[in-house]
């Protein structure tokens, strides 16, 4: 049985496309999935002035022509904002740059989490912004345009990874087992009907703490342990913002992992869970299940019934999937 497994950097993280069996052109399909992800990186990064997203953000007109890839991802970001009641807000680019995230953090040193947590403000859950400017953004496929208020710049953030994973998975249709991993945003599929064992790693120790099994759909983890930095004269910051303040949200959690019908949905649920804090995360994740890791390192596996705390434990590595 043919099997293909490619790993490469894109979108500021590590990507993986893997599939086996079931289609004579599988190698070509894996290459096409990779090309889709690399093209998405080129067009949607905010760190390149020539990307489609950067050109949209710098255009002074209210209504701007936009290609199908950008329109699709902006629509996904608006869906995430609607689904999260504004907790996930794509209009916070100015705020995240003010917090110190102006340049790509690829290759940046690992943050001092103990120092960051000790100096962080009181823990609180996030809330939507009073004026939800994302509601004023419109995508028009017939006219091939995007309309947004003057001065509003977009950051597609994590939704771009989730949506990109879902789009790339389509190229692997017909494979017995298929996975697209966009830095921990996983899109899972295949014709075998057998579930993928998804290993959820502890954000501090790297130990596997839970192994949800997913046949079709997505799994994603959102947290502040990888993208945190010391900003000049203003303490520590990270990339998960509270829309109501424009400041990093210190919710009492290190990370949250969610299962969804798609990678995009899982990404949205995971970020919502982090932003809502422990109690809100439990309620949100109870429908499909998930994992939350508290600031003290405790791991809570949220089942569809009652959540419970597990010790960090070692689990043999699955050959397919690791949710970071």
Assign residue 112 the CATH number of its domain.
3.10.520.10
Q: Is the Cβ–Cβ distance between 321 and 179 less than 8 Å?
A: yes
Q: What is the pLDDT of residues 269-285, one digit of tens each?
A: 999 999 999 999 999 99
Give the model's pLDDT for residue 323.
44
Diameter of the chain measured on Cα atoms: 58
How many angstroms separate the CA atoms of 240 and 92, rounded? 10
How many angstroms separate the CA atoms of 39 and 43, rounded? 6
How many angstroms separate the CA atoms of 20 and 27, rounded? 9
Q: Is the Cβ–Cβ distance between 260 and 266 less than 8 Å?
A: yes
Q: Report the run of H or E that residue 94 belongs to, with start and end.
A: helix 93-98
The strand pairing partners of 222, in sequence order, are: 256
Q: What is the pLDDT of residues 213-241, one digit of tens each?
A: 999 999 999 999 988 999 876 789 999 99
How many angstroms separate the CA atoms of 151 and 270, rounded? 29
Give the model's pLDDT for residue 245.
96
Give the model's pLDDT for residue 243.
97
Q: Is the Cβ–Cβ distance between 34 and 41 less than 8 Å?
A: no
Q: Is the Cβ–Cβ distance between 34 and 9 less than 8 Å?
A: no
| % of the chain residues with pLDDT over 90 | 82
Q: What is the DSSP letter of 99?
A: T
Closest CA to 156 of 259, 51, 254, 16: 51
Q: Is the Cβ–Cβ distance between 45 and 13 less than 8 Å?
A: no
How many Cβ atoms are within 10 Å of 324's Cβ, its own excluded?
21
Residue with token string 């998975």: 169
Structure-token pair, residue 270: 């995971």
Q: What is the DSSP letter of 133?
A: G
Q: Is the Cβ–Cβ distance between 206 and 169 less than 8 Å?
A: no
Q: How many domains does the chain have?
A: 1
How many angstroms separate the CA atoms of 94 and 294, rounded? 29
Q: What is the DSSP letter of 183?
A: T
Structure-token pair, residue 127: 């809330």
Show pLDDT as tens, one digit a residue, over the chain (324 residues): 689 999 999 999 999 999 998 667 899 999 999 999 999 999 999 999 999 999 999 999 999 999 999 999 999 999 999 999 999 999 999 999 999 998 888 888 888 999 999 999 999 999 999 989 999 999 999 999 999 998 999 999 879 999 999 999 999 999 999 999 999 999 999 999 999 999 999 999 999 999 999 999 999 999 999 889 998 767 899 999 999 999 999 999 999 999 999 999 999 999 999 999 999 999 999 999 999 999 999 999 997 654 444 433 333 333 334 444
Range of the domain at 218: 3-323
Q: Report the run of H or E that residue 117 belongs to, with start and end.
A: helix 113-119
For the entire predicted model, the pTM comes to 0.92
Q: Report the run of H or E that residue 272 belongs to, with start and end.
A: helix 263-285
**C-alpha neighbours within 13 Å on the C-beta side of residue 152:** 21
Residue with token string 């990109």: 164
Q: What is the DSSP string of 217-230?
A: EEEEEEESSSSEEE
Structure-token pair, residue 311: 């010790």
How many angstroms separate the CA atoms of 229 and 212, rounded? 31
Give the model's pLDDT for residue 311.
38
Give the model's pLDDT for residue 124.
96
Structure-token pair, residue 251: 């919710």
């Amino acid at each position: 049985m043919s099997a293909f497994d490619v790993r490469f950097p894109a979108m500021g993280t590590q990507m993986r496309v893997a599939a086996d069996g079931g289609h004579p052109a599988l190698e070509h399909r894996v290459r096409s999935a990779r090309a889709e992800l690399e093209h998405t990186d080129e067009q949607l990064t905010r760190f390149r002035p020539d990307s489609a997203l950067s050109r949209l953000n710098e255009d002074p007109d209210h209504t701007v022509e936009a290609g199908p890839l950008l329109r699709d991802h902006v629509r996904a970001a608006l869906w995430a904002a609607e689904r999260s009641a504004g907790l996930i807000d794509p209009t916070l680019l100015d705020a995240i740059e003010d917090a110190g995230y102006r340049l790509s953090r690829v290759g940046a040193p690992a943050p001092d989490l103990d120092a960051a947590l000790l100096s962080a403000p009181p823990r609180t859950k996030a809330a939507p912004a009073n004026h939800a400017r994302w509601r004023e953004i419109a995508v028009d496929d017939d006219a091939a345009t995007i309309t947004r208020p003057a001065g509003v710049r977009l950051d597609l953030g994590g939704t771009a990874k989730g949506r990109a994973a879902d789009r790339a998975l389509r190229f692997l249709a017909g494979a017995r087992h298929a996975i697209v991993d966009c830095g921990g945003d996983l899109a899972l599929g295949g014709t075998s009907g057998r579930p993928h064992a998804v290993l959820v790693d502890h954000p501090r120790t790297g130990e596997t703490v839970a192994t949800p099994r997913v046949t079709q759909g997505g799994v994603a983890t959102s947290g502040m342990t990888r993208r945190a930095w010391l900003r000049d004269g203003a303490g520590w910051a990270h990339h998960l913002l509270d829309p109501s303040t424009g400041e990093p949200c210190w919710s009492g959690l290190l990370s949250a992992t969610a299962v969804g019908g798609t990678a995009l949905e899982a990404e949205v649920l995971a970020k919502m869970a982090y932003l809502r804090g422990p109690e809100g995360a439990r309620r949100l994740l109870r429908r499909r299940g998930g994992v939350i890791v508290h600031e003290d390192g405790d791991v809570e596996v949220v089942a569809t019934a009652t959540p419970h705390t597990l010790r960090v434990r070692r689990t043999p590595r699955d050959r397919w999937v690791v949710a970071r």
